[in-house]
Structure 1
Amino acid sequence: MHAFMPTRLLCCLATVLLLQACGSSDDVDGGTNGGGEVFVDQACDAPAAASATSYSFTSPVPQDVDPSVDPLPTTEIFLTVMLPERCEGEVFPLVLQTHGYGGSRRTELAADGALYPEHAGLTSIDEMTQALAYHNYVVVSWDQRGHGESQPRNGGGYARLNSPDMETVDARALLDWLYDRAEEFHLWRQDDTGIAKDLKVGTLGYSYGGAAQLPLAALDRRIDTIVPIATWNNLLYSLAAGGALKQSWIQLLCLFAVVPSDGAVVGTINTPAVNTMCNSAAVRQPLSFNVRTYDDLIERIGRDLASPHPVTEDEFIGLFDQGMGYFRRQQATGEPWGHGESEAKLRPVPALFLQGNRDGLFNLTEAYVNWRYFREAGGDTRLISMESGHLSPFAQQVDGPANCGGVQGVYAILAWYDHYLKGFDSEEFETLPDLCISVQSSVNAPAGPEIGVALDEMPFGSLSGVGSLPVQEDQVTVDIPMGAGRPTFVSLATIPEDDYVLAGVPTVGRITVSPGMGATHEAIALIGVGLQRNGKLYLIDDQVTGLLEAEHSTNRWLDEGDPVMLPGLGEVLQAGDEIGLLFFEQQTQYSVLLSLTSLTTTVPGGLISYLAALPFPHPLADVLVPVVNVLTNPNPYHAELEDVRIPVFKPGVYANSQWRLPPDG
């Protein structure tokens, strides 16, 4: 555990410490403050107190591009500037932060600079946002269009799922606005880089706020580093990886696609196409349980009577396929991104990714694909998996911290900023691995000991070499009968001794799904990686992939020449454990939630958290009932899998791997 000591106090200990810890012309990476003076923390007799002040500015892009909302030609964006304690003329790096879907900006400073790695992961990130000013960063937290105060009723816009032509342009306009006020806000300008209106700036945010950083980094050279947390590579993969819809997650997302009441900052005002999806396949639609597949959804939203208006598949894909999957795919084929860039090639951007093993919406494989793309570009790229993220109360998931064993998320982020925005290093940065996979036990997760494994590369499929346990099966065939009450387990390996882990991305060369006896609709295979211990079955990291009746040899929305990638996992193993595949007839993440105002739910509102890590607003929390059996009952199917590979190895013995335990571990 770290004892909090503000950077300013350290800097006042002695002049030599000021030069070493707070920056000098020798140890600061790039840029001046515009007047020729390199960034230096200063000390003075009467510094101004830390403060948080709200503002708004006008983004030059329209509220929306959908004519049905009669958009205004510009968009008002609301923000809060959090300033550190400061002396006259003192300048600081900028951290630009934004919120999760359905959330809003941070508007108040913390009481001090204390960080809380033991708190639930996304909560600890919000706490960090409010504490960073005490570590000598200017923090700007902003409401994206359609969120918080940046709503149409205030001149704000309609959310377009982080469109590079809308939300990203808003962010770039915000950087321009801040540069023009750099002296007022004590911002460190970089006028010697050849980049217009350049600032020393890093980004921060999770979920929707994590996704906002990726196209911004690709399209704006002012971004010096990014920290995307619990976010997506491709929303189409997130919601329909194998053609089957994650219905419960769509229900939860659409609960926030509502018009907030006056003064409310909970909820999202979306562009009409997203509202059409929610009106067709979510809690607003009593027949939503019939929308089981991607094709069902496209057919439903394209109907003449779809409300607010019919949506074509091209329009739908244009909204949901705007992430790094699209950027990587275009770059690989030599095609432009189409957003005014001079070259459709990702530049080397230092990127620290954090992603949850048990995140049911954006799994670890999505982070791996993002990490791989930024790594290919040549930037310093790290990935930390954690026990937090988008966790479903209906699957009885409990949130955990943003840590990977001894790698504590908030301290890793602070060390990352100190290195890339201030130019000095800490022990946390020097020991931060390229990759850390949390391998906490799935049994009663996240209550067990925090355990992580550090590696240089992501373990992918079955492994070979000293310290590995090859787990590969040429063919697996199962028949899941109608009304199966328990999952079917197919054992692939028995663990010979303690201290092995299952960590990395399992792969399957080919999966063929066909209807079983008595099927009345298209079959959906629901597949996870399982652990059998002492006669009990456990679903590792709560991860299940739905694959529609068809032949699958790659992930449709993550197709980069890989085999079918199952969600990345981390699990510490014991002697005698059997690991293998679990096949479900039905599963909570692929089931419908119905809003039933006349019934009392069995799910307490206090257990439900939405994507901005805040409680669901009442009365919504009191009217949700999970209807597990509606989606897939009956759902008999036959599945044939070829070339199944699962990564298992012994840390400290397998090449370039080591345990990362907490200090008291």
Structure 2
Amino acid sequence: MQKASLRLFAASTLVSTLLLLSACGGGGGGGSTSSGNDEGNSGGNETPQTALSHRSGNSGVAETQGHFDQIISASDGEDVAFSVFVPNNTEGAPVPLVIHGHGFGLSRIKDFDDPNPVSSFASGDVSGDVSRRLWEEAGYYVISFDQRGFGESSGDITVMDPELDCDNISRMIDWAEQNLPNLGYRDSDPVIGAIGLSYGGGFQTVCSSTDKRFDAIVPMATWSHLPYSLYANQTPKNIWLDLLAVASQGKLAPYLIQGFIEATTTGDISDEIIDELATHGPRAFCQGQMATGLSTADALFIQGSHDVLFNLNEAIENYECWKANGQDTHLLIQRDGHIVPALQTAGSQILFGTDEQLYCDEQVLNTREVAADFLISKLSGSAANFRLPDICFSLAASQQGTTFAEVPRGGQLRELPPSQVIPGGLSSLANLLQNIPLTTLLNTLSALPVETLAVVQQVAAGLADPASLADSADDIVNLLPEELIVQLVAPAQFIPLETMTSAATLAGIPLASLVLDGGNGEDTTLYIGLGRIPAGGGDAKLINDQVLPITGTGSLLVEMIGVSEQVNSGDTLGLMVYGFHPYFLHGAAIAQPTLPTGLAGTIDLPLVQ
């Protein structure tokens, strides 16, 4: 426990600072840019919808704009806190309800004009801006709630447990049906939409599957399968696990705390924890593992190609799942999303980024307007007048983008030249220690046993083999401050695949068919991603900042992480292979014996000319 707490203390300082910095610049521009939702676009439910009506026996009540706070009881006696925004509705007309969910570590919107910087951060992202527009301009009810364990909602944080978190949502909707006099109905069901990013997207996909009263959802930068998000191929994504642990402020359910400790120390999370987390995402509903079945809400998914926490594959899986279930579904790919502090940068926010505009063939779409208009079209019955492409990969930097009817998987097969790669990172750890002044090094690692500290001194002085750090790598990493940990980057091996003869776009999921031999056998762990060397030369750059851990040896068929990138004539594309990577930083990964691993196979690139 002590090792984990030391590491998390370093992350805590960083997160606290970054949250405040993010809050100061979090609003982003909300300017009106034509969304261009006109001819030439697929998608959009063209079935005419019936007009909204009041609940049976209710004739409507004139209401003036305002907001108030409410607390109700959860099934286990905990508090469920939310704020209700009542629109100006002098005629007492029936109107929809939109539910807004906040991100992990934050809390609900209590007042759209609250000057508090953290509150401004919560209400100033895209989902907060859209919620405000729907309340003030569209005249909808809006409820913004504190997720379980955050803000004024009590209880352990259970990370979207269908039985606990979603029961809170259902009880909140029950309350709305009983207490919002102008809540609109269609075919005897309340008309309800939802919006939120990250954790605020997770409640939509999971809880609209347990409670079918949702009509339309806009999940942004969210997950499909938490074991993939946080523990892909049995490799913990420690950079984000540490940050999420800090953001939970010690309120995680006990089994989740145990999982975080296991990830930070041994790197092995118990099967029981993984099995439980697997039920906390839409994949379980899509695959028929949950009794209630999948959501029946129409959906607009928005995801970032550089999002390391919840990558493109998760949004693609969600999109394909909803589409196969018969829902009107759309997927918009932009650049950012969750951004790793110190390793990535994003727009006007530090921990999160969103493109203001999306480029889809000839269309220029405003992200905020598209999200709002999608909900309005679905909830107010004007869907026949709204068009969106099914799938759009937008590249804001070059102001271009491509639309698809299906997400490309591969398409251009390239041979991977046989190569040797080296797992582990003890040499990189030794180099880092050698670059730290000796006095600083000794003070930083003073908690180590005397005999271990002596080995560290020998390695730092270049007098001992880096392999001698193997047994103490975990202890060393857990004592290093975050600003040093982010410097612990192993150089990638770039294996060229193709030099481009014309410009093209990488858009979709690359497929890898690999054969690995030697190394550490089934304990071998490597990290792969696509890379690019620009036509003018220079260092290889990891495309979209994305790497995927692969484990073991033998034949592997891998869906690599989805990409969205413009490539130019003369650029060289290749596979980047890391012996370890700071996204997945724990002692066992670094301390892998540096035994050469043979690598060969093919990479199927989703190249669009």
TM-score for both structures, normalised by structure 2: 0.73
Within-5 A mapping of 1:269-308: 269-282=251-264, 288=265, 291-292=266-267, 296-298=268-270
Within-5 A mapping of 1:469-548: 470-473=412-415, 476-480=418-422, 483=427, 486-498=491-503, 500-510=504-514, 512=516, 514-515=518-519, 522-533=523-534, 534-536=536-538, 537-548=540-551
**Secondary structure class of the residue paired with 2:234:** coil
Q: Could you tell which deviates more after superposition, 634-643 or 138-147?
A: 634-643
Q: Could you tell which deviates more after superposition, 359-368 or 89-98?
A: 89-98
Aligned to 2:607: 648
Q: Percent identity?
A: 26
Within-5 A mapping of 1:454-469: 454-462=403-411
Q: Say if 1:120 and 1:138 are closer, same or farther in 2 by CA, change over 3 A.
A: closer
CA offset digits 1:633-652 (Å, max 9, x no partner): 765551535332111012xx
The counterpart of 1:401, out of the listed 330, 351, 354, is: 354
The counterpart of 1:58, out of the listed 70, 73, 81, is: 73
Within-5 A mapping of 1:585-664: 585-591=579-585, 631=590, 635=594, 637-650=596-609
Structure 1 residue 535: Cα displacement: 1.8
Q: Could you tell which deviates more after superposition, 169-178 or 26-35?
A: 26-35
Aligned to 1:211: 202
User: Separation in 2 of the partners of 1:382 and 1:635?
Assistant: 45
8 Å contact from structure 1 (residues 80, 105) kept in 2? yes
The counterpart of 1:411, out of the listed 352, 358, 369, is: 369
Aligned to 2:393: 437
Within-5 A mapping of 1:136-535: 136-151=139-154, 157-183=155-181, 186-190=182-186, 192-193=187-188, 198-259=189-250, 269-282=251-264, 288=265, 291-292=266-267, 296-298=268-270, 313-329=271-287, 331=288, 337-338=290-291, 341=292, 344=293, 346=294, 348-399=296-347, 400-402=353-355, 403-405=357-359, 406-424=364-382, 429-430=386-387, 432-439=388-395, 448-462=397-411, 470-473=412-415, 476-480=418-422, 483=427, 486-498=491-503, 500-510=504-514, 512=516, 514-515=518-519, 522-533=523-534, 534-535=536-537
Q: Could you tell which deviates more after superposition, 163-172 or 28-37?
A: 28-37
Structure 1 residue 252: Cα displacement: 1.0
Provide the alpha-carbon RMSD of the alignment: 3.1
CA offset digits 1:197-253 (Å, max 9, x no partner): x31001111111211111222222211011111111111111121222212111111
Q: Say if 1:272 and 1:453 are closer, same or farther in 2 by CA, change over 3 A.
A: same
Structure 1 residue 439: Cα displacement: 3.2
**Secondary structure class of the residue paired with 1:395:** coil
Structure richer in helix, relative to its length: 2
User: Separation in 2 of the partners of 1:217 and 1:251?
Assistant: 29
Aligned residues: 486
**Secondary structure class of the residue paired with 2:110:** coil
User: Separation in 2 of the partners of 1:78 and 1:583?
Assistant: 47
8 Å contact from structure 1 (residues 99, 143) kept in 2? yes
User: Separation in 1 of the partners of 2:218 and 2:338?
Assistant: 17
Structure 1 residue 451: Cα displacement: 3.1
Aligned to 2:566: 572
8 Å contact from structure 1 (residues 349, 379) kept in 2? yes
Q: Which runs of 5+ in 2 are unaligned?
A: 1-28, 34-46, 115-120, 348-352, 429-489
CA offset digits 1:335-361 (Å, max 9, x no partner): x514xx3xx4x3643110011100001
User: Is residue 127 of structure 1 aligned with residue 129 of structure 2?
Assistant: yes
User: Separation in 2 of the partners of 1:272 and 1:359?
Assistant: 28
User: Separation in 2 of the partners of 1:82 and 1:641?
Assistant: 58
The counterpart of 1:581, out of the listed 575, 578, 592, is: 575
8 Å contact from structure 2 (residues 72, 80) kept in 1? yes
Q: Say if 1:122 and 1:456 are closer, same or farther in 2 by CA, change over 3 A.
A: farther
User: Separation in 2 of the partners of 1:552 and 1:187?
Assistant: 57
TM-score for both structures, normalised by structure 1: 0.67
User: Is residue 99 of structure 1 aligned with residue 98 of structure 2?
Assistant: no
Instruction: Please tell me the residue identity of whatever aligns with 2:170.
Output: R
CA offset digits 1:420-457 (Å, max 9, x no partner): 00122597x32x211111335xxxxxxx3443222111
